[in-house]
Amino acid sequence: MKNIGEQFRRRHDTLAARIFLLIALGMVTAVIISLLAADHARRQDFARITLERVVASTEDIISRFQRAPVETQMMLAEGRIIGAHASPAGARPTATDQALTALLAKRLGASFHPTAGQAPVEACWDKEQNASGAVAAGLNGALRPQCWIVTFTDPNGVRRALAIDLPSLTLPRSAALSPIFLLIIVAAGAVLALLAARLAAAPIAHLSRAAQSFSLSSDPEPLPEHGPEEVRAALSTFNLMQSRIREGFRERTQLLAAISHDLQTPLTRLRLRLEQVEDEALRERLISDLAATQKLVREGLDLARSTESEEDPSTVYLDPLLQSVAEDASEFGDRVTFADGCGASVRVKPNALLRCLGNLIDNAVKYGGDAELRCFREEGQFVITVRDHGPGVPPDALETLFKPFVRGETSRSRTTGGTGIGLTIARAQARTFGGTVTLENHLQGGLVARVTIPA
């Protein structure tokens, strides 16, 4: 359960996941808020239109009073004006509608002192009309109008009260907030957020892979500089960093080569002078120490050069290569066998791979007595193993053996020599084509060197 939680956290603790969540939540929230605001505006417009209809009816009645006050009063009393009639005695609005009152005052003028509000329908209709029980198919209750009581003072100073009847209309329910519509919004937001997250995180992921490749290979290819301006700037800076690091490696190698070359002359003169030492035993010891010094200088230069490779990558078939390496080593009397192949071809630097394998085979034969070569595919990569049947190495010393001039003799064989840079050079050569070299103890004994090559 803990592993599942850790995997979930790693999968969702990425830049793409964060961008996806941010955009998806932002888009869905913004759309829902917009829909709620639109629905609120729709309700306000519906209420405003209702008030406008009350005001329009009131203005019409007032204009009639101004043209023919007596006739208008009779028509109101007899109910001959549709939508308006004289307010029944005692009819009062439930509460004064401030918005409607303000709108009437604005349209009619403050001198009319209007007040208005909605009243129960029973207040506008007499008992006989309310008890008539008239209905219409599919419209039960819909024929009962809204009742608005409007009072005002006409230009003659008479305070009048009107009952304005409006058809009872119901605001339809908004479909924008239905579950299906919201589900469509969430799905569309998720798809757009996913596309945006992938587009935004793709350059970062590309740069991350390039940095990882650079950590494994000392000579990676420059990244193509395309994309938005900020991405191009980052890729250009990364390529410049790679170029300067490679230039630093070359300068270091050139410096060591120059030092090694300059040391050859005094070391050669020193050897000539040592030949003149009369004490033979002393002369042999001194010459042996000088030879060891020259060997250290040469191997130090080899170690520096191992991090560089001017060789161009090419496609190599692993099985024939491993078979050839095993046969060449056997010709010199070493016990080297090619046990199993993988039938694969890889793109590597052939000479770098050969030198890497050569150092591993030499190490296996020197310390374990033999070398067994195998090749197989594992997790999308190709693995070459070089196994010996020696005593192995303590687990805590496996990684230490890759450090320059560190030897494993104390745990393996006290009779062998070496300066301790063979494994270091093998790993450095593998890195020139993006490979890795690791060590592990075999369950049945012996040491296994693994060369992992990207597929």
Neighbours of 372 (CB within 10 A): 22
> Do 304 and 380 share a domain, yes or no?
no
Whether 60 is covered by a domain: the verdict is no
Main-chain phi, psi angles of 221, to 5 degrees: -75, 145
> Do 257 and 316 share a domain, yes or no?
no
Specify the pLDDT at position 371: 93
Specify the pLDDT at position 409: 55
Exposed/middle/buried for residue 85 (C-beta within 10 Å: 0-12, 13-18, 19+): buried
Specify the pLDDT at position 131: 44
Please list the pLDDT of the chain residue by residue as tens digits (455 residues): 445 455 545 556 677 788 888 888 888 888 888 888 888 888 888 888 888 998 999 899 888 888 888 888 888 888 888 888 888 877 888 888 899 889 989 888 888 899 999 888 776 765 444 444 555 555 555 556 788 899 988 877 888 888 888 887 777 777 767 788 778 888 888 888 888 888 877 777 777 777 776 665 556 677 777 777 777 788 888 888 878 877 777 777 777 777 777 777 888 888 888 888 778 888 888 888 888 777 777 776 666 666 666 678 899 999 999 999 999 988 888 899 998 888 889 998 898 899 999 999 998 998 888 999 999 998 889 999 999 998 888 888 888 888 876 666 544 443 445 567 888 888 888 888 888 999 999 988 899 999 999 87
End position of a domain, from candidates 265, 287, 308: 308
Residue 249: give the domain boundaries. Answer: 214-226+234-308
Whether 370 is covered by a domain: the verdict is yes
> Do 221 and 347 share a domain, yes or no?
no
Q: What is the CATH number of the domain that holds 286?
A: 1.10.287.130
Torsion sign, CA atoms 147, 149, 155, 158: positive
Distances (CA, A) of 64 to 81, 89, 117: 11, 22, 22
Specify the pLDDT at position 219: 61
Whether 53 is covered by a domain: the verdict is no
Whether 328 is covered by a domain: the verdict is yes
The alpha helices in 91-167, defined as continuous H runs, are: 98-108, 121-124, 127-130
End position of a domain, from candidates 308, 326, 354: 308
> Do 250 and 299 share a domain, yes or no?
yes
Whether 145 is covered by a domain: the verdict is no
Pairing status of strand 345-348 against strand 84-86: unpaired
Rounded CA separation 366/392 (Å): 13
End position of a domain, from candidates 291, 308, 325: 308
> Do 319 and 376 share a domain, yes or no?
yes
> Do 274 and 287 share a domain, yes or no?
yes
∠ CA 128-130-131 to the nearest 5 degrees?
65
Number of domains in the chain: 2
> Do 349 and 286 share a domain, yes or no?
no
Amino acid found at 25: L
Neighbours of 339 (CB within 10 A): 12
Rounded CA separation 234/213 (Å): 16
> Do 324 and 300 share a domain, yes or no?
no
Q: What share of the chain is helix, strand, coil (3-state, %, to 5)?
A: 55, 15, 30
Pairing status of strand 371-378 against strand 336-340: parallel
> Do 320 and 443 share a domain, yes or no?
yes
> Do 355 and 438 share a domain, yes or no?
yes
Structure tokens given for 61: 């009645």
Whether 93 is covered by a domain: the verdict is no
Specify the pLDDT at position 449: 94
Whether 222 is covered by a domain: the verdict is yes
> Do 289 and 402 share a domain, yes or no?
no
Q: What is the CATH number of the domain that holds 319?
A: 3.30.565.10
> Do 286 and 368 share a domain, yes or no?
no
Whether 410 is covered by a domain: the verdict is yes
Rounded CA separation 266/272 (Å): 10
CB-based contacts of 416, cutoff 8 Å, min separation 6:
366, 367, 409
Neighbours of 318 (CB within 10 A): 21
∠ CA 89-91-94 to the nearest 5 degrees?
165
